Amino acid sequence: MRLVVKYYIETTDDFGKTADLMAKMQSTGTWKEMTAETEAIVSRFGAKVESALITGEKSVYELPTKTQPGKKVTCGTVEISYPVENFGSKVSMLLTTIAGEIYDMAELTAVKVIDLKMPDDFLCGFKGPKFGVQGSREIVKSYDRPLFGAITKPCVGLSPKEISKLAYDVSRAGADFIKDDELLADAPYNRVKDRVIAVSEGLKKSYEETGRTTMYAFNVTDDPDEVINLHDTVAGHGGRALMFNVMAGGFGVLKKLSAYSTLPIHCHRDFAVTTFRPKYMGITSRIFTLLTRLCGGDQVQCGGIGGYLYETDEEILENIKACSEPLGSIKASLPVSSGGQWAGMVPVNMRKIGNMDFMLLAGGGVFSHPGGGYAGMRSIIRGYEEWMQGKKLEDSVDNDLRAAIRHFGTPVY
């Protein structure tokens, strides 16, 4: 059983020779021949170059290298297959294998993982999301529309009581979901325990007034053992969801947390962008999304359609597709469109995503509204309702939606 990884590479050496060296470095061999590297060992444990396709040439070195200036750079794609028994279902060792020491090779002036083909037998080692799309919907009893959510702002500095008030306001306005900002976890001035107690009281008050349930995801990113303790704190005090910063906290920790958790996990990508934003280094955001889903991410931030983030909408849509594409028996994760979202971004999200199974999540687009969090959340929901009725948002007579348009700008269709 083998897993196939597709790389984009640029090299100053012979293209085929470099591909062979990549396979060697990431399995049985090293830069020099070894007598212990027998044919039997290579046959069973060695990586293999399945294809090497040259796509062009250039003269620029995109990464630091010891290679002297002036050499021709050959560009192309390489597919390498790895024996699954080399790493099994340990995602840390999977990453060490497919994205390891090859990144140190002086021969490579660009190297990026761009695709991953995983056999079903390999996928059996992962349980994936416990809740996913349907489980998230079940908690808030919303089944026939996108979910709408808010990120508490300011990012840091608020007390548990202040965050509880923000949560109460947007919950009362109809939010399905609210979360901590990724910068706030178990801070000395705002402990998770104090926050979950305060927020749960605010959400209970909102439920008594409206009859609607709202999830709040508390950020439990921390050292591995403490992540589990914080899960117990949230679950034990009435919390309905967790949040985890995946790359900063670790894929392996996410996998452990998911196996243990009784609550859905909202996955933020923050630190991960350092590896998939560079064009010539790292992994793509789609690969990150797939691995997050494999390790149990119930809700995965995919970038913001039409928003202020660096990615194109096409790249974000690839991430969204990765949340639900066939992956053995692994459930679909709920994709989250977040980053520069507000009421006026509802139409473009609806049109480009093309289905209801996503969450639109806003921070500034809710709490920067001139009328505050309640009006900001309500403007998003009203924007959705009017769009579904075939109306132009600019023609709305709703005061909160009109105020949002005056404040944030022209709706995007």
Same domain for 173 and 221, yes or no, is: yes
Q: What is the dihedral of CA 103, 254, 277, 97, to 10 degrees?
A: 20
Residues 62 and 199 in one domain: no
Tell me the CATH number at 43. Answer: 3.30.70.150
Q: Take residue 364 and report the two structure tokens written for it.
A: 């500034």
Q: Where a domain ends, among 123, 151, 178? A: 123
> For position 43, what pLDDT does the model report?
77
CA distance to 151, 165, 166, 373, 390, per residue, from 401 (Å): 19, 22, 19, 13, 15
Locus of tokens 């349907």:
134
Asked, for residue 173, whether it belongs to a domain, the answer is: yes
One domain, residues 225 and 335: yes
Q: Report yes or no: 13 and 66 within 8 Å, Cβ to Cβ.
A: no
Are residues 181 and 93 located together in one domain of the fold?
A: no
Say if residue 97 is in the same domain as residue 215: no
Domain span holding position 345: 132-408
Looking at the structure, do residues 80 and 140 belong to the same domain, yes or no?
Answer: no
First to last CA, the chain: 46
Strand order in the sheet with 73-83: 48-58, 73-83, 2-11, 108-117, 281-283
Angle at 206 between CA 201 and CA 207, to 5 degrees: 95
Structure tokens at 90: 């340990």
From the list 406, 316, 312, the residue with the least C-alpha distance to 360 is 316
In a domain, 413, yes or no: no
Minimal CA–CA distance to 379: which of 342, 336, 328, 324? 342
- 289, with CB counted inside 10 A (0-12, 13-18, 19+), is buried
Give the pLDDT of residue 152: 98
Beta bridge partner(s), residue 299: 266, 334
Question: How far is the C-alpha of 270 from the C-alpha of 276, rounded, in Å?
Answer: 11
Domain of 169, CATH number, reads 3.20.20.110
Indicate if 136 and 117 belong to the same structural domain.
no
User: Quick check: helix, strand or coil at residue 143?
Assistant: coil
pTM of the model: 0.95
Same structural domain, 189 and 311: yes
Structure tokens at 276: 């998939």
The two three-digit tokens of residue 341, written as one number: 């979202």
> Does residue 238 sit in the same domain as residue 379?
yes
98 Rama class: left (phi>0) / alpha (psi -120 to 50) / beta: alpha
Would you say residue 165 lies in a domain?
yes
3 DSSP 8-state letter: E
pLDDT tens digits, residue range 200-244?
999 999 999 999 999 999 999 999 999 999 999 999 999 999 999
* Among candidate residues 83, 105, 123, the one where a domain is terminated: 123
Exposed (0-12), middle (13-18) or buried (19+): which is 112, by Cβ within 10 Å? buried
For residues 15 and 157, state if they share a domain: no
pLDDT tens, position by position, 30-46: 777 777 777 887 878 89
Q: Do 382 and 367 touch, CB atoms closer than 8 A? A: no
User: Which of 94, 123, 152 is a domain's end point?
Assistant: 123
How far, in Å, CA of 354 to CA of 397, rounded?
Answer: 27
CA atoms within 13 A on the CB side of 280: 11
Q: What is the pLDDT of residue 111?
A: 98
Residues of the chain with pLDDT under 70: none
Q: How far apart are CA 313 and CA 111, in angstroms?
A: 24
C-alpha span between 120 and 253 (Å, rounded):
23
Count of residues for the chain? 413
**Structural domain includes residue 144:** yes
CB 243 within 8 A of CB 217: yes
Residues annotated as catalytic (active site), given as ranges: 153, 268
Please check whether residue 399 lies inside any domain of the structure: yes
Phi first, then psi, for residue 316 (nearest 5°) are -65, -40
Encoded tokens for 105: 């090779």
Residue 153 and residue 113 in one domain: no
Does residue 324 sit within a domain?
yes
**Together in a domain, 323 and 404:** yes
Considering its fold, how many domains does the chain have in total?
2
Residue 23 resides in a domain: yes
Among left, alpha and beta (phi > 0; psi -120 to 50; other), residue 211 is left
